[in-house]
């Protein structure tokens, strides 16, 4: 845990936000000293850090540095002494913050950066009466701080370019994105937007148009999906079509004057403002055509939706419900002929399964085969209900042969041959087809396990009987080409793998 020579951050004020900052610094290898007057702070902060340990390191495909040392300090001066970054996250009371800054500045170095997590105050308010006003800046994060990259930064006139450069590089070093405001304003940027939505949402509840769950659905099944990947202006640029933002403003500008919200103070869409917005949008997104932005947006949405589908949450939960209605896969052996391999999959290759060239990525073949294994097992009686009762099959071994490339969007089908059902073991052979073209095979050894002990155990007689029925029928099928092969050796040179 200890990281000697590591950089040091001080966290003043715990809670969810302070704890989130502590986690982000520590997991990026910084030593973190925490000061909070609340006796419960240590427990609460440790809970946040535990959540961060579970979620944050896996964001990247490389290992993070060794975690820094986390310590709790009753004495504020001890916490901030020599710290490179000091983050204040105490309650939103200006008098309290002023008191804390005085104590911090009495003990920290001149070079230290003092960031405030304030949602609403401006740096000029925060730095009133401070010894070194330029040292105090707004660094406003978003919950959960260890996952959401945005940090709004607002500096004062005395901050200086050298310090600004260090703020930028430090926040990037801990995997955050510093968004520097051009000038100070109450509530910065994001909270102004949030506040606008929040007020409108309160009116909708107050007026009985929708309840909180319905308003949340309007967000997470709708524009929330868009905003996770493109913001307001880029989304509207697409809506405007090839003519872009000028077109959009001309088309939808008048709606601003309509009574579409309770909030009616509207900026005048002067020629100048239209020109400002349109040219900023050109600078932001103009190097890509609308068609290109649409393709990017669609691929992003598919990735987000499929990520949520795997978690069975939000819009992903809707997809799973629709999938059950679509059905498609046979659910019972009785409806199937056993004189040919069993149909265990038919699907389109999703956009998020492909590499930059549009070809299906290596591990997605195994994902498709894994789904086919699940369907095969369900057919022989090892379905969700069976698994819920405490037994299942685990894959012990896999052999994949890639025979032809498959592109995103292609419709593939999988059939499955049972090669062996003996005791605790099952050997199956999947074939993946695109039309009549065999594109890959997957051979798998599975073992029946007790999910409590995680050990191999015999399957019950009913399961053995069903497997024996399929095995007996499939024994009449020709040995599939490629079964029993080792990597790099042609299978025909092998002895009978079933021995």
Site for a second copy, residues 385 to 404, rule: CB under 8 A: 394-402
Identified binder of a second copy from the candidate list 259, 334, 436, 492, rule CB under 8 A: 259
How is residue 148 annotated by DSSP?
Answer: -
Q: How far apart are CA 427 and CA 431, in angstroms?
A: 14
Nearest CA among 5, 7, 176 for reference residue 83 = 7
Q: Least distance in Å: CB of 258 to a second copy?
A: 6
d(CA 81, CA 105): 10
The contacts of residue 346 (CB under 8 Å, 6+ apart) are 328, 329, 411, 412, 413, 414
Q: What residue numbers does the annotated binding site for NAD(+) cover? A: 13-18
Residue 450 makes contact with a second copy by CB under 8 A: no
- Integer distance in angstroms from the first to the last C-alpha of the chain? 52
Pick the closer one to a second copy by CB: 103 or 303.
303
Query: Within positions 12 to 31, which residues make up the interface with a second copy, using CB under 8 A?
Result: 16
The verdict on 164 binding a second copy (CB under 8 A) reads: no
Distance CA 24, CA 45 (A): 12
Per-position b or e across 406-418, b if 16+ CB within 10 A of its CB: bebebebebbbbb
The answer to whether 438 contacts a second copy (rule: CB under 8 A) is no
**Identified binder of a second copy from the candidate list 267, 334, 339, 452, rule CB under 8 A:** 267
186 binds a second copy (CB under 8 A): yes
* 55 scored as a contact of a second copy (CB under 8 A): yes
List the one residue from 3, 296, 338, 456 that touches a second copy (CB under 8 A).
Answer: 296
Site for a second copy in 325-384 (CB under 8 A): 325-329, 346-353, 357, 361-364, 366-367, 370-371
- Burial class of 225 by CB neighbour count within 10 A (0 to 12, 13 to 18, 19+): middle
Strand 425-434 and strand 437-450: the pairing is antiparallel
122 binds a second copy (CB under 8 A): no
- Whichever of 409 and 460 has its CB closer to a second copy, that residue is 409
Q: Can residue 77 be called a binding residue for a second copy (CB under 8 A)?
A: no
Which listed residue (255, 332, 335, 339) binds a second copy by CB under 8 A? 255
Binding-site size, a second copy (CB under 8 A): 186
Judging by beta carbons within 10 Å of its beta carbon (0-12, 13-18, 19+), is residue 499 exposed, middle or buried?
Answer: exposed
Binding to a second copy (CB under 8 A) within 467-496 occurs at 484-489, 494
Residue 294 binding a second copy, by CB under 8 A: yes
Q: How far apart are CA 34 and CA 52, in angstroms?
A: 16
């Amino acid at each position: 845990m200890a990281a000697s020579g590591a950089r040091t951050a001080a966290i003043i004020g715990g809670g969810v936000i302070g704890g989130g900052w502590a986690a982000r610094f520590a997991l990026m290898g910084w030593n973190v000293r925490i000061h909070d007057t609340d006796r419960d702070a240590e427990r609460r902060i440790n809970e946040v850090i535990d959540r961060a340990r579970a979620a944050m390191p896996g964001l990247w495909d490389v290992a993070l540095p060794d975690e820094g040392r986390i310590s709790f300090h009753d004495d504020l001066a001890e916490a901030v002494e020599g710290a490179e970054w000091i983050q204040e996250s105490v309650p939103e009371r200006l008098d309290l913050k002023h008191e804390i800054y005085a104590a911090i500045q009495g003990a920290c170095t001149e070079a230290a950066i003092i960031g405030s997590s304030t949602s609403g105050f401006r740096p000029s308010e925060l730095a009133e009466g401070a010894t070194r006003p330029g040292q105090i800046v707004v660094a406003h994060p978003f919950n959960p701080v260890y996952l959401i990259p945005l940090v709004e930064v607002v500096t004062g006139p005395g901050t200086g370019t050298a310090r600004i450069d260090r703020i930028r590089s430090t926040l990037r070093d801990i995997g955050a994105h510093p968004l520097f405001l051009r000038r100070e304003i109450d509530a910065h940027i994001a909270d102004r937007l949030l506040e606008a939505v929040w007020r409108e949402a309160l009116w909708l509840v107050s007026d009985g148009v929708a309840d909180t769950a319905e308003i949340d659905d309007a967000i997470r099944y709708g524009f929330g999906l868009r905003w996770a990947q493109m913001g307001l202006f880029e989304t509207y640029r697409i809506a405007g079509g090839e003519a872009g933002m000028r077109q959009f403003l001309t088309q939808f500008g008048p709606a601003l004057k309509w009574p579409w919200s309770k909030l009616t103070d509207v900026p005048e869409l002067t020629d100048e403002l239209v020109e400002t917005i349109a040219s900023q949008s050109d600078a932001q997104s103009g190097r890509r055509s609308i068609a290109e932005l649409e393709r990017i947006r669609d691929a992003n949405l598919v990735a987000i939706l499929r990520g949520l589908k795997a978690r069975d949450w939000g819009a992903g939960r809707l997809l799973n419900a629709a999938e059950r209605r679509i059905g498609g896969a046979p659910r019972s052996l009785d409806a199937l002929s056993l004189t040919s391999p069993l149909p265990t999959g038919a699907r389109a290759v999703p956009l998020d399964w492909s590499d930059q060239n549009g070809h299906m990525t290596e591990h997605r073949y195994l994902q498709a085969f894994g789904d086919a294994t699940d369907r095969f097992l369900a057919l022989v009686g090892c379905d969700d209900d069976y698994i819920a009762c405490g037994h299942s099959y685990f894959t012990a071994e896999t052999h994949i042969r890639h025979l032809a490339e498959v592109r995103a969007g292609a419709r593939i089908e999988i059939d499955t041959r049972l090669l062996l059902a003996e005791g605790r073991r099952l050997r199956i052979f999947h074939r993946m087809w695109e039309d009549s073209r065999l594109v890959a095979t997957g051979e798998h050894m599975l073992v029946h396990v007790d999910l409590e002990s995680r050990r191999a155990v015999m399957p019950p007689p009913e399961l053995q009987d069903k497997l024996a029925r399929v095995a007996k029928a499939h024994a009449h099928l020709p040995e599939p080409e490629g079964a029993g092969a080792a990597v790099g050796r042609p299978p025909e040179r092998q002895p009978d793998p079933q021995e």
